[in-house]
Structure 1
């Protein structure tokens, strides 16, 4: 494969992931308008926003089968059409049911954007380069988290949330066409012997019943769940209602979170292999980074006297370490099941996001609102519960045991 072809494949899949990331966080900008126009509560907003993550999670197992059967290009291009349909439904809805269905279809439509990207990289590039390439891939996609901060707030001053939704549908259709015609399936995919559906399902069941899978998935999925549940909806209300920020300051910090996540994925991806040569393997490096994320959350909850810019920058940077788990999984499991392993992990990852995002909303609703604002204690309690769950997951992640799966287990 030429460098030009490799770059084209990388950029197309990165753009697809960027689009999915924008979808993930759109409601952080839409929320004030949806609340004002439709009278949605915090619980309603949590349920509506997390519909994306729910359908995303539900789609992962069939998506994994599709990736290993039809390849990354065909699977992602076709599903992006579903996302475009969902965006139209969302933008044309005036009630909770239509909004929920639109959001549900969007989540299903972009459910393979990350898994397909990681699979394409694993099939087209050497394994030794995956941590760095995966990091840069997620970094470019993570720029979507920057877009849903200040840029989206500025756009909403000129266009309605409905118009922006329809514009997203057009962009999604263009992305589907670019994916279908701009990417060529790798030789390994074209030459792969087809295995039966029952054999693929048996492999998926084996993955989901394997101790190694759950041990490796524990901490990164709960950390990622806590971060993305906050970033895509609840971090802005936390900044304003628990830390007393002005909306404009919170918007800037939301964008900063996205930028620091981008920086973190690139830097940790580059450092991973260098530190491995010094004796710190990828599993431990990722784990230490996630422990740092837990420590920063404690600082947020305890309101340590640290400048907000520094505190939230480290929060976004350290959260990126959960992404390294995809490379850890690729090393632990045999190559022929990488699509299903990635999507199975995605399922667990996004179930955590869905559960935490919806859970935060219902926890907040325990406290009565005062002029549409929840008390600081409500937000702090919700974040404290999330931190406790992450601490439990950390114990499982670092529990000493063998973390390698042999190919013979999937024959």
Structure 2
């Protein structure tokens, strides 16, 4: 392998860490953000949803761009869009401008993990690829850790706007690093095709039955991830009354579990297979969600511990993407991963907004915060269960003798 690949992978890993930060940062500063921008629970849900919806809608165009142009140029351009989005979000006078900034950040983060997988799979041998992906995924989760206690401390002492401006500066540095190090040119088979042809071929991938076995998981795991990305902070603030620093500590505990899972799950998948890891992770997450639905306000320690397990459903993301890349030929791999990622982040957008509407409905009906969040946890379990059933059915159909 040529030495120049490693700086490129390091730059993409750094950009992935920033993507993880911006996915998760709203959870810690939700009460302060909602107060300054005059947002009710549904408004906060819509704000979080704007990031994930923009992320989702960008996936197919990004996949086309990767196959045709390579990873470096599209990723650099979209990271630059994110720098502008971060400035808009940090200075937003109200909810509409904040949503616009979040949409810009979502577009910027859209190519990063997909680009990391795409670039690594094209430049590394299989045995090195899986190990490198596990390391990069784990290091990328450092962004989630910085979006916990360090961000809570910054919000407490300086406010959320300066904290987000500093994070935007880090995204600018990641943009420069990707621009300087990631130099590739896509697949030769895609160079001569028109954009319309590439899009037509992309949507033709929806006819691949194997990909549809992963789609329910892509949608379902968002039910847990959304508590780490957005609703975990409001939960510990509303139910247990935590301030920004304490919320940061709680989100750090949740992020540490995600960090450990990010390293462990790819290794477990190599030993036991992707299917066993996906099923096991979702069952354990469902069990934690059921306990939270039954006793959401029993104790802070128990609540955070169970929420950590429920949120770990989102750490299946690299397992699902790795499984997806084996189902299609290399010239359309970027677009296939883009389709799967679209469903992942559409699920997150729907969960963020749906939890907000459900929370607002509960508060307006006079229910206690604990009862409101119990309904959110119950919905998460229902979504996970609904996602798991078709995945198991598809696996059984593939294993059944002809």
| Cα distance between partner residues in 2 of 1:249 and 1:176 | 32
Structure 2 alignment gaps of length 5 or more:
none
Alignment length (residue pairs): 393
Matching of residues 267-286 of structure 1 within 5 Å: 267-273=264-270, 275=271, 280-286=272-278
Which of the residues 287, 309, 329 maps onto 1:295? Answer: 287
Shift of 1:59: 0.9
Q: Please state if 1:155 is matched with 2:154.
A: yes
Q: 1:233 to 1:322 in 2, by over 3 A?
A: same
Pairing of 1:400-411 with structure 2 (within 5 A): 400-402=396-398
User: d(CA) in 1 for partners of 2:143 and 2:215?
Assistant: 24
- Which of 209, 213, 216 is residue 211 of structure 1 equivalent to? 209
1:77 and 1:176 in contact (8 A); partners too: yes
Offset at residue 301 of structure 1 (A) = 2.1
Determine the structure 1 residue equivalent to 2:358. Answer: 363
Matched, 1:132 2:131: yes
1:315-357: CA deviations, max 9, x gaps? 4555423431011111222222111111111110000000011
Give the aligned partner of residue 78 of structure 1.
77
- Is it true that 1:343 corresponds to 2:338 in the alignment? yes
Q: How does 1:248-327 map to 2 (within 5 A)?
A: 249-273=246-270, 275=271, 280-303=272-295, 308=302, 310-317=305-312, 319-327=314-322
**Aligned runs of 1:4-403 on 2, under 5 Å?**
4-185=3-184, 189=187, 193-223=191-221, 225-242=222-239, 244=240, 246-247=242-243, 249-273=246-270, 275=271, 280-303=272-295, 308=302, 310-317=305-312, 319-368=314-363, 375-399=369-393, 400-402=396-398
TM-score, length-normalised on structure 1? 0.88
Corresponding residue of 1:408: none
Q: Using a 3 Å threshold, how does the CA distance of structure 1 residues 178 and 130 change in structure 2: closer, same or farther?
A: same
Compared CA separation, residues 249 and 171, structure 1 to 2 (3 A)? closer
Structure 2 contact 258–312 (Cα < 8 Å) conserved: yes
- CA displacement at 1:33 relative to structure 2: 1.9
CA contact (8 A) 1:81 1:173 kept: yes
Q: Return 24-33 or 259-268, whichever deviates more.
A: 24-33
Cα distance change on mapping 1:30 and 1:311 into 2, 3 Å: closer
CA distance in 1, matches of 2:202, 2:358: 35
Query: Structure 1 residues 159, 240: CA separation in 2 closer, same or farther (over 3 Å shift)?
Result: closer
SS class of match (1:157): helix
Distance 1:150 1:76, change over 3 A: same
State the distance in 2 between where 1:111 and 1:374 align: 37
Q: What is the distance in 2 between the residues matched to 1:393 and 1:72?
A: 31
Aligned-partner Cα distance in 2 for 1:192–1:233? 38
1:251-292 per-residue CA deviation (whole Å, 9 max, x = no partner) reads 32211211211111111212322x2xxxx4323332222222
Question: Matched residues in 2 for 1:220 and 1:249: separation?
Answer: 31
**What is the CA-CA distance between 1:87 and the residue it aligns to?**
1.0
Determine the C-alpha separation between the residues in 1 that align with 2:22 and 2:91. 16
Q: TM-score, normalised by structure 2?
A: 0.90
Show structure 1 runs of 5+ residues with no match.
404-411
Kindly state the Cα deviation for residue 191 of structure 1 after the two structures are TM-superposed: 8.8
Contact 1:131 1:272 in 2 (8 A): no
Check the 8 A contact 2:269/2:276 in 1, yes or no. no
Within 2, Cα distance between the matches of 1:82 and 1:109?
Answer: 6
* Maintained 8 Å contact 2:228/2:311: no
Once the two structures are TM-superposed, the CA of residue 98 in structure 1 deviates from its matched residue by 1.1
Deviation of the 1:163 alpha carbon: 2.0
- Moved beyond 6 Å, runs of 4+: none
CA drift of 1:190 comes to 7.0
